[in-house]
Amino acid sequence: MRTRSWLRFTGLRPRMVAGFVFVAVLGAAAAAGAGFTSSRAALVAEVQDGAAEDLRRRVAEVAVTVDYPPDQQALDQMRVALGTSTMVVYGELVSAVGPNLDAVTRELRDAVGAGQEMVLQRVSAVDGPRLVLGTPVLETLMDGTRRDSGIEVYAVRDLSATETRIADSARAAVLTTVLALPLALLIALVVAGRVLRPVRELRAAADRMAGGDLAVRPPVRGSDELGDLARAFVRMAERLQGTVAELRGMEADARRFVADVSHELRTPLTTLVAVAEVLEADADLLPADARTSVLLAAEEIRGLARLVEDLVEISRFDAGRASLLLDDVDVPRTVHACLSSRGWSGEVQLEAPESLRARLDPRRLDVIVANLVGNALRHGRPPVRVSLRADGGDVELEVVDHGPGLSEEVRTRVFERFYKADAARTRSEGSGLGLSIALANARLHGGVIEAGDAPGAGARFVLRLPGAAR
């Protein structure tokens, strides 16, 4: 359950949605960031250009009214005309009144004194950013030329309002990115749903096919890659349905042939078995060579008869005609009778309670026990032990031999029809159908047979039948 929950959150749909949302939010953030950077640069440039242009204009208006060389009073008049937070310097004379003038640094003054252009510098103060401007005052001569008068003007402008506007722009960019998230998520869910719908339909069709519905066909839409995939799936399903139908027809024909042949052979084989038994009874009166041939023929005829009977039994299961005739069965007595009737009582150790009754089909129980014990006697080594007990409401019968046990391959295939553990052994006693028949009869009761190895022994087969044991 935990694995399925983990897969639900790492499937294709969540990954598509997450990828789409990530790209959309990243794009929105990049666009908002670029817009913020651009607007911030434009806003700062606008403020700086406006402050510089205003200072140039004021300086130009005041410069024509000053007598050169200026005295302290002239500098004071210039400073008053230029406004607050302004400093006017001429040589050793300084006129400065207003806050924030400490932002005028020596580096800025050196830069203004070395040239004839306005110099701007942004500085950070405790109470906010400042824009410091410095410009030399140019004197106009009689011939119209201009020269440096030696007067320097410095002004400090507060940028707090500008920074507030920039902060508002940043918040708007963040808000835009945040608002893009639910919109991107909604669009991603819609797009993922539309894109993955053909995939879900293919998966549903594949699940139905796995469940045996070979006639299912997913809808085919569009001419894109998903449409091509759906068309390929339809072609595969049609071919598979045709192949399975052909195989089922061949299997039905084969089973019908086996059933027909088996039924046709029963009557002549019954006659042959009777004749063989008569010949076998008088075998001692025959010459040695003839006696050997008669005994061998009788044994082969009986083996052929058992094979035909097993094939007939298998054909009943294949045709679905096998049914239970339930009765109140004394299970230990039925098992003992099975062993005695086949002459196995001296070869098999039976461990069973005195009384164990269950609602079972006695004939099919006899078939199961005979096949399990017969397999142990043929392919294992003595002693063979049969243990019978009640496990809750179930009947449990265990057959253990002391042979080589079952390899992993044999354990997984031991109930297959005609399976031989030794591929080199082309013939063996029995039909090769005994364990298949035993398992079919157990399943008809709603039970099961488990194959494995017993500790310190050989092969171990455990039959469990839900027979309401008591």
Q: Which amino acid is present at 86?
A: T
Name the residue with higher pLDDT: 169 or 91.
91
Structure confidence by residue, pLDDT tens digits, 2-15? 444 444 555 666 76
The CATH number assigned to the domain with range 12-167 reads 3.30.450
Report the predicted TM-score, pTM, of the whole model to 2 decimal places. Answer: 0.49
All residues at 6 or more sequence positions from 417 whose CB lies less than 8 Å from its CB, including other chains:
314, 432, 433, 436
Which residue bears the tokens 């001419």?
223
Strands 384-391 and 348-351: parallel
Q: Across all residues in the chain, what is the average pLDDT? A: 79
Q: Which two tokens stand for residue 325?
A: 């005739």
Map out the domains of the chain as residue ranges.
12-167, 226-319, 327-465
Does pLDDT of 277 surpass 60? yes
Looking at mean pLDDT, say which of 235-244, 414-423, 448-457 comes out highest.
Answer: 448-457
* pLDDT for the residue numbered 32: 67
The answer for residues whose C-beta is within 8 angstroms of residue 81's C-beta and 6 or more apart is 58, 61, 62
d(CA 238, CA 230): 12
Q: Do the beta carbons of residue 339 and residue 374 sit within 8 Å?
A: no
Residue 96 has pLDDT above 60, yes or no: yes
- pLDDT, tens digit (0-9, with 9 covering 90-100), for 278-309: 777 777 777 888 878 878 887 787 777 777 77
Per the document, the length of the chain is 470
Q: In the CATH hierarchy, which fold is given to the domain comprising 327-465? A: Heat Shock Protein 90 (3.30.565)
229, containing H or E segment: helix 225-281
Phi, psi of 192 (to 5 degrees): -65, -40
CA–CA gap between residue 266 and residue 272 (Å, rounded)? 10
DSSP 175-218: HHHHHHHHHHHHHHHHHHHHHHHHHHHHHHHHHHHHTT-TT---
pLDDT computed for residue 335 by the predictor: 94
State whether CATH 1.10.287.130 applies to domain 226-319: yes
CA–CA gap between residue 364 and residue 369 (Å, rounded): 9
pLDDT at 333 over 90: yes
Query: Considering the chain, what percentage of its residues have pLDDT values greater than 90?
Result: 17
pLDDT digits (tens, 9 = 90+) for 452-464: 998 888 899 999 9
Please report, as a single letter, which amino acid is at residue 423. A
**437 is written with which tokens?**
């028949």
**Spatial separation of the C-alpha atoms in residues 200 and 218, rounded to whole Å:** 10
Kindly report the number of other CB atoms within 10 A of residue 237's CB atom: 19
Nearest alpha-carbon partner for 464 in 331, 337, 333: 331
Rounded CA-CA distance 27/44 in Å is 25
DSSP string, 421-464: SSTT----SS-S-HHHHHHHHHHHTT-EEEEEE-TTSSEEEEEE
Amino acid occupying residue 124: S
